[in-house]
Chain A
Amino acid sequence: MGDAEVHAVRGIDLDIARGEFAAITGPSGCGKSTLLHLLGAIDAPSSGRVFVNGRDTAQLGDAEATAFRLRHIGFVFQRFYLMPTLSAQENVELPLAEAGLGKAARRARASELLGYVGLGDRRGHRPTQLSGGEQQRVAIARALANEPALLLADEPTGELDATTGEKLLALFGQLNRDGTTLVFVTHDSVVANSARRVIRLLDGRVASDTPRVNG
């Protein structure tokens, strides 16, 4: 960070199986987001390997990592990060267009995804015309556009009120039941308990890794 070298994560050895629903939790600055970025091939480790779908993403160059993210990883951010100048439909179409899908096909897929997250009737609305929860749903739909093997979410309920957050977690549960591998990061242990596996980090290391029976 700045000019100082910081080891955000160290000695992490994790396996996340296909179809898992895992939460990564821990206090602020423990390396949660960094770990998520490593899983999502946004960042590369200084040492070690990261395998996603059998591929070592740590060895990928920038273009390959980007292509990998496009096809295999879906990202949901705390602050939604939707394009404010595009409609909900167009935001979901973005990764589909990048993947080379034709106009009609992208439109159909985007409509389907928005319907899935319960925003079928809000397709033409801009982000500023949507509530926080709705914006996050659009972000989820965008993340699911190219049918990723892995959906990563960084503090997905951080900007939402408790009720909206619960609804969002319920959607995550539904996604997981429908086959999506989900890993999300949260500092809130209550929110973390909605997952079926809770990985707790402390000072960049895994402090505990507990499967949840009722997740």
Chain B
Amino acid sequence: MSMRTTLALATLRRHPARTVLAVLGIAVAAALLLDMVMLATGMRESFRSLLLTRGYQLRVSPKGTLPFDSEATIDGATAIVEALRANPDIKAVSPSLGTTLALPSQAFPSVFTLGLEADVQGDYVLEAGRDMPGPRNGAAAAIPLPAVVNRMFLVRSGRKLGDTLTVAAGIDAQLRTTARSRVVVLAGEGRFFYVPAETPVMALPLQEVRTLLGAEYRDRISLAMAESRKGDSVSVEAVRSWIAASQPRVTAISTETAIRQVEERLSYFRQLAFVLGAISLGIGFLLVATLVTLSVNERRGEIAVLRAIGTQKGGVLRQVFLEGFLLSSAGIAGGLLLGLVTARWLNGILRDFPGLPAAFDFFLWSPEAAWQSLALLLISGTLAGLLPAWRAASIPIVRSLREDAVG
């Protein structure tokens, strides 16, 4: 260890209570900064990974609407889906129809239902049991009809996999009758990416849902997800443009556009993150600057002696600078750990937002976020020692020797 580091560490150890408090203060500031950086970047990245979970980069929704933003549906869906699938630049298309089906005689009266094609669906991953049948392997003949539900459905209904129940549509509230019903078996449990965790959800074959909803829905979907064969942004945008041009009754948005729109809705948190991040940087800066300044003031005599025995101004400057650097480093190390803990806590609070997809996080850990906040605070803390370091180096030797008593 160099003499400079030895002296710097010894100086910090000289007043342990003071040093510990300062390190604690910097740690809290570092934790807050890390959290704000994670918040600023986490929402976007979490949403991006959510949208790209199954590889679908494009969403096709009724004209003028956003995916599942309204009850609007796309008519003539079969022709549109076939046209999309015929495009050699499109690898896969997953149509879906969202609706609410009644659950007669169950613990809760209705369930949000997704009509999907099992072989291309990108809405859930099967975690237990078996999947529902695909469109080409005789779904209509299966009685009871296999359904995939989420954990919340099982918990709230008190059911388990293998149980059967009846789902219905076309409810007449006054006569308490339904137009069409079907017996389904809870075949599998899935983790649904885009549905809030607290919402019970059921997935059924698309054609079956259409049949339940009646003739009006025979050729309708709520949304189609499309995957471009080439994943680069230029190719995806080219496919999006082609869809927009060839299918005037729909709106196609890419992942980036969707992210931008979500960011706009959640922009309050990004701005809050920026403001709080700046404040925590300021706190860390002030703390280090104050501590180093007071430390230098206390040691004027010592510093004058260092100069008297032959230490250059630059050497004194580096010495004091090093103290600020060591202080900041110790605080940052603790702050990173503390930041992860508080991020988990804050994420838990914000995850309570109603209607939030189960897989969405506000605070997302990434090495980039850590490095960013670490670098910011380290630079800030080290710079904070700059002015007191310069003042220390400029201490008049004779006057200081005369004024200060050092034992």
Contacts and interface: CB of A to CB of B under 8 A. Distances in A.
A190 B308 CA distance: 28
Interface string B392-407: 0000011001000111
A134 interface: no
Looking at A77, A90, A106, the one whose CB has the most chain B CB atoms below 10 A away is A77
Contacts, number: 84
A94 B407 contact: no
B312 A63 contact: yes
Nearest to B9: A85
B310 A66 contact: yes
Interface in A78-100: 79-86, 90, 93-95, 97-99
Contacts of A82: 406
Nearest to B310: A70
Contacts of A62: 313
A202 interface: no
A7 B3 CA distance: 39
A13 to B, nearest CB: 22
Given A90-B3, A93-B3, A128-B407, A66 B13 contact: no
Nearest to B1: A103
B312 A86 contact: no
Contacts of B302: 81, 83-84
A196 interface: no
Nearest to A85: B10
Contacts of B4: 97
Interface in B373-407: 397-398, 401, 405-407
A80 to B, nearest CB: 7
B6 A98 contact: no
A85 B313 contact: no
A67 B310 contact: yes
Contacts of A66: 307, 310-313
B294 interface: no
Interface in A96-113: 97-99, 106
Contacts of A97: 2-4
Contacts of B397: 42-43
Interface in B1-37: 2-4, 6-7, 10-11, 13-14
Nearest to A43: B398
Interface in A39-65: 40, 42-43, 62-63
A73 B307 CA distance: 12
B3 to A, nearest CB: 4
Q: How large is the interface on B (under 10, 10 to 19, 20 to 34, 35 or more residues)?
A: 20 to 34
A80 B70 CA distance: 83
B380 to A, nearest CB: 26
Contact of B305 (A77, A85, A106): A77
A127 interface: yes
A90 B2 CA distance: 11
Contacts of A93: 3
B2 A79 contact: no
B29 to A, nearest CB: 27
Nearest to A154: B401
A79 B406 CA distance: 7
Interface in B277-317: 301-302, 305-313, 315
A75 B306 CA distance: 11
A146 to B, nearest CB: 8
A69 B406 contact: no
A142 interface: yes
B405 A79 contact: yes
Contact of B310 (A79, A81, A95): A95
B397 to A, nearest CB: 5
Nearest to B3: A97
Interface in B190-212: none
Nearest to A152: B308
A84 B308 contact: no
Given A66-B312, A67-B310, A67-B312, A86 B407 contact: no
A83 B309 contact: no
B313 A86 contact: no
A31 B14 CA distance: 36
A81 B301 contact: yes
B127 to A, nearest CB: 60
A125 to B, nearest CB: 14
B13 to A, nearest CB: 7
A94 B312 CA distance: 12
Nearest to B316: A66
Interface in B132-147: none
A21 B19 CA distance: 46
A136 to B, nearest CB: 12
Contact of A69 (B2, B6, B7, B310): B310
Interface string B304-338: 01111111110100000000000000000000000
18 contacts: A43-B398, A62-B313, A63-B312, A69-B309, A69-B310, A70-B311, A73-B310, A79-B405, A82-B406, A84-B14, A86-B6, A86-B10, A90-B7, A94-B311, A97-B3, A97-B4, A98-B310, A146-B310
Given A66-B310, A85-B13, 11 more contacts: A42-B397, A63-B313, A70-B311, A75-B309, A80-B406, A85-B14, A90-B3, A90-B7, A94-B306, A94-B309, A98-B311
Shortest beta-carbon contacts, A-B, top 6: A70-B310, A85-B10, A97-B3, A81-B305, A69-B310, A85-B14
